[in-house]
Amino acid sequence: MNLDPSRYADLFRTESREQLSAINRALLELEGGGDHAEPLSVIFRAVHTVKGMSATMGFHALAEFAHDVESLLDRIRRGEQRLTRELMDALFAAADALESGLDSATEDAPRTTAMATALTRMRDAAGGSGASGVVATPGPESGAPADDAGADPMDGPGVIVRVRQSAGVLLPGVRAFLVVEKARALGEVAAVSPAIALLQVAETPQAFALRLVTTASAEEIERAIRAAGDVERVEVDASGGRRQRASREQRAGEVTPEDATRAGAGAARSIRMDLARLDALMNLIGELVITRGRLLQLTAGNGDPALDEEMQRASRLIGDLHAEIVTSRMVPVWQVFDRFPRLVRDAARQLDKEVSFVVLGREIELDRSLLDEVGEPVVHLLRNAVDHGIETPAERGAAGKPRAGRLELAAARDRAAVIIRVSDDGRGIDRAKVLAQAKAKGLVGAETAQLDDDQLFRCIALPGFTTAEQVSGLSGRGVGIDAVQTKVRALGGSVALVSVEGEGTEVTIRLPVTLAIIRAVLARSGAERYALPLAHVRETLEYGAGTVQRVKGKEVLVLRDEVLPLLYLRDVVRQEGAGGTGGEIVVLERGERRSGLVVDELVGQEEIVVKQFDAARDGLALFSGATILADGAPALIMDVGSLFQGA
C-alpha cells in the first residue's frame, strides 16, 4: 500500500475523536444501568471503526489494541463475559488509551504504556481471558471465500445499496469503510462488493455496492450513507434480482447527464475547514469594518449623492459579509460539553462520591475560538463542585439529602451573550471560614460581620486563596476560581457567584457570542475615549439635579422607581482631576443588576473590532480589550462586570 499517512493524519484523528466521543457517551450510559444492548452496540461499532481506520493508515499498534478491545466487547455482547465494576473501569481506561494513542500513532509506533496497562486491566477484570485472542469469523464483507465460489454475494435477502464517492474525496479507503459502518448501524451488512479489505486500501474514489438486511426506509439508508461524507451518489434498490443487478453493473461506470443532475442536487453540501482559515477571515473582515468606518467619516457631507449611495451599499455588503463569517464560526457547545460527563464520573469515583450530572442547552451556539477557550474554566468549576461542593453519601444522608448530589451544567442565550452556569446542591461555601481568612489576610476590615455574594467571590477569586484544610488531587491549591476569573476576563466575559450554606453553589459565566466585532457606545472622560459594549447599555440620560441625589452620604441615580448606585468614569479610570459633575449618564445592566455611569460626553455608537491584550498583573482590572476607532485612534473597552463589583 502506497498511502502516505502524513497527508491524512489530521482527517484520521478528527474522525477517530468523533468515534471516541461516542464511546465515552455510551460507556457512561452503560455504567448507568438499564438495557445494555444499545450502548454496547454503539461502543462495539465505534471501536471497530477506529480499528479499521487505523489499519488503513498503517497504524498497526493502535489497530491491534482496538481489536483486543473489540474482542472483549464481543464476548460481553454475546453474554460470555459478565459486566462488572472492575471491567467498566478497564473499558474506560481502554478508551483513554485509544485517545492518547491517536496523537502518537505512526506506522512504526509500538503499543503505548497506556495501552499495555489497559490491556492488563481488561484481562484481570475478565478473569484472565477474553481480553484478546478472540477472532471473529470473517463474513462475506471481509473478502473471505464463500462455500459456493460461484455465488453472487449480492444474491440473497436485503436491499442493494450502490455508492459512488465524490471525485475529490480525501482518504477514500477510510471513507468507504465509514460507509459500511453507517450501513451496519441500520442492520446486517451481508455482503460488500468489492470486498471491504480491498476498499480500505483504495487511494482513488470508489464505486461499490453492499447488500443490507434492514427495516429502514430508502430515505433513511441514503441519509445514513451520506453522513459518512464525500458521497456523490447513493442508489437504494429493494427489488433485487440478477437481471436488474446485471443491468446496473453494466452501466455502473457510466454517468449520464441525468445522473450528474441528481448527484449535484443530493450531494452533501459541507466541507471541513482549518480553523486558522476562519481566524484569518475574521481578522480580514475586522480590518474591513475599521476601513468602512473611516471611509464613512471621510465621505460624510461631501455633497455627492452617488458616492453616498455607493458607500451605503458597500457598508451593507460588508455588514452582510461579517454576519456570514460570524455564523460560519458558530458551533454548538456540546462539542466541548460532551467530554465533561466523563470528567465528572472520574472525579466522583476518585473521591468516593455519588454525582448525578445533568447537561442542559447543548445546542446553544458559540464562536469556535471562544468554545475552545471556555473548556478550561468549566473544568475548574466542575472539579471544585465535586471536590468541595458535593458531600459524601454519608454526609448527604445525615443532612436529609439524596445520596447522589446533583451537578448541573447549563448553557443559554441572553441577547448578545451566552450564559454558562455550573450549579450543585452541595454544602455551599462556608462564609465564616472565608471571612476569617479574609480578615487574616487584611482583605476586609476587622469590623466586617458578614460577606455578601460579591465580597465572597472577590475573596475566593484572589490568587492562592483557599479554605481547604488539605490539598486533593483535584483542587484545594487556591487556583480554581482565580483561574476561572482570569480566563473569563481575558475572553471579554464576567463571572458571578451565588452560594447558600447547606443548599449549594451556583457560578455563572457570561461570555460574548463572538469576540471579534461588537457594537459599542463611545464615552469620553477628559481627553480619553472608552468603549462600553452596547449589550450592557440600557439607556442614556442627561446629568441633572433631579436625577442625582445623595443617600447616606453617597450619590445615587433616581430613575423612575429605582435607586441605582452611581459611578464617575473619571474616578473609575483614576484620571487626574477626577470628580466633579459630568455631562451624561449611561445606565448599565448586567443580569438583574443596574448602575449609572457618569461620563463627560457620549461620542456616539460604533461597530468596533475587539483586540485582546494582556493587562498588567497589578493594573486596573477594568478592561476586556482594546479597539481602533474609525478615526484611527485607540480606545479601551470597559469590562462592565468589573464596574458592578465596584458599585
Task: Give the three cell numbers for residue 207.
Answer: 464505486
CA-based nearest residue to 491, from 608, 377, 330, 412: 377
Query: Does residue 384 contact residue 480 with C-beta atoms inside 8 Å?
Result: yes
Q: List, in order, residues 6 or more apart from 66 with CB less than 8 Å away.
A: 47, 48, 50, 51, 54, 98
- Mapped onto helix, strand or coil, the DSSP state of residue 387 is helix
Q: 613 phi and psi, to 5 degrees?
A: -150, 155
Query: Does residue 203 contact residue 173 with C-beta atoms inside 8 Å?
Result: yes
Task: Give the three cell numbers for residue 498.
Answer: 451565588
**CA distance linking residue 227 with residue 268, whole number of Å:** 8
CA-based nearest residue to 629, from 292, 279, 284: 292
Active site residues per annotation: 48, 70, 384
Q: What is the dihedral of CA 125, 127, 132, 138, to 10 degrees?
A: -110
159-165 vs 517-525, strand pairing mode:
unpaired
Q: Using the 8-state DSSP alphabet, how is residue 136 labeled? A: P
Q: What is the CA radius of gyration of the chain?
A: 31
365-367 vs 634-638, strand pairing mode:
unpaired
**CA distance linking residue 80 with residue 72, whole number of Å:** 9
The 517-525 sheet, strands edge to edge: 601-609, 517-525, 528-533, 634-638, 623-628
Task: Give the three cell numbers for residue 464.
Answer: 492562592
**CA distance linking residue 195 with residue 140, whole number of Å:** 8
Query: Does residue 527 contact residue 577 with C-beta atoms inside 8 Å?
Result: no
Q: List, in order, residues 6 or more apart from 627 with CB less than 8 Å away.
A: 520, 531, 608, 609, 610, 611, 634, 635, 637
